Amino acid sequence: MTSTSRRGSLIRDAENAEKENASSSSSKSGFWKKCEIVVTSAGNTMSQICEKLKNEDVIVSYIETRNGTLIKNVAGNSNTSFLITCIGNDNDITTGLKRLESIGCKATIVNGTERTAEWFPRHVTELELCRGTKTDYEPDKDSNHPGFNDPVYVERRNYISNIAHFYKHGTDIPTVDYTNEDRQTWSVVYKTLKRLHATHACKVYKDNFQRLEKECGYSPNKIPQLQTVSEFLKEQTGFQLQPAPGIITPRDFLASLAFKVFQCTQYIRHPASPMHSPEPDCCHELIGHIPMLLDPTFALYSQQIGLASLGVSDSDITKLATLYWFTVEFGLCKENNVLKAYGAGLMSSYGELQHALSDVPMHLPLQAEKTCLQPYEDSVYQPIYFVSESFDEAFNQVRAFSQHCTKRGFDITYNENDGYIQTVPYINL
């Protein structure tokens, strides 16, 4: 997702998410709002009422039976009224009320002004709408980028990025014909990092890296194609790759994880700086991220952060992005009481991997509710790293955090069989 030299940008991007989402959301479904309605039932069960609303993508988050409040209908019979709090966009709520009227209910909006959730994709194919990118660090924009004065590199980068812009879910990821320069850069990065991984990486990472060498052709002399890696990854943990045009905005990137999709760049960093990149490239993605995504528990952890991000506020996106940063990107763990690294930002950075396991920085236990608030340094190695006792512990923490520390009013699950997100309301009767 991010390169090690771009530390801090994920959080800054999240903090500026409202501005970024203004343009990217305009082609989507708009903002959701919380709406309170009073429904007078004409003999319909509560489940029938909820089902009608659910069919219009309206989420019921609270139901209160108005005991003792009986309303006479025209025939003189008494009907019970309900106060229902629901969440949805204007069109869906309006249609939902019409559906209630069609089964003989009377529904009246009593409060519908509070915006409660941002748009989020409901089907895996809608991830095509989640490709918002930051362009500040691209070689034709940033004068500090190693490729800034290399028009040939810029043209090639743009060509490869366009593959992602036009990619359609369910189709094969196009093959990139890497140049000799690309392969030389990959080889330098690969050999240098692998030597350090032998002593600094956790066992899960090292074992899975060996599997990638065996099954996907990882080697110093060959850059794996995303389609090959994606097929193997999906067989193992259900995750699959989708080509990314560049640095994806936090909300869009985290949303893709909910669907077990990892947005992955295909271009290679500039050959003038093989051990440094101001943005993510496939060295960072394939060497840093993919080995850990082959671990079932770690894959569930990544998906849980994605599910937690759907529909939440910008401030919650910032918290989740921070949690992602200090775990998936720069996380440490214990193995037989020995400190080891698993974060992709560390596994793809020779210098920071050495720094992280030294006595220089602080090593604190992972506590999701505190870690999510920890600021991090932008231009130097991290002064603080967070340590997980196990991946199971980290998964349980982020699951609990997403349920209790984000303000959404409903829970979310992903049905892999049909590719749809399902909403699960928090109902208090």
The residues that are catalytic are 284, 289, 329, 348
DSSP code of 62?
E
Alpha carbon distance 367, 359 (integer Å): 21
Residue 70's DSSP bridge partners are 80
Cβ pair 49, 41 in contact under 8 A:
yes
297-306 burial, b for 16+ CB within 10 Å, e for fewer?
bbbbbbbbbb
DSSP H/E element including 369: helix 368-371
Phi, then psi, of 158 in degrees rounded to 5? -65, -40
Beta strands in 97-173 (DSSP E): 106-117, 133-134
Q: Is 231 annotated as a binding-site member? A: no
Phi, then psi, of 421 in degrees rounded to 5? -85, 135
Q: Is 329 annotated as a binding-site member? A: yes
Q: Is 270 annotated as a binding-site member? A: no
CA atoms within 13 A on the CB side of 23: 8
DSSP H/E element including 183: helix 180-200
Cα end-to-end distance, the chain, whole Å: 42
Alpha carbon distance 266, 279 (integer Å): 12
By C-alpha distance, which of 418, 414, 409, 415 is closest to 58?
A: 409
Q: Which residue ranges make up the annotated binding site for Fe cation?
A: 284, 289, 329
Q: Which residue ranges make up the annotated binding site?
A: 284, 289, 329
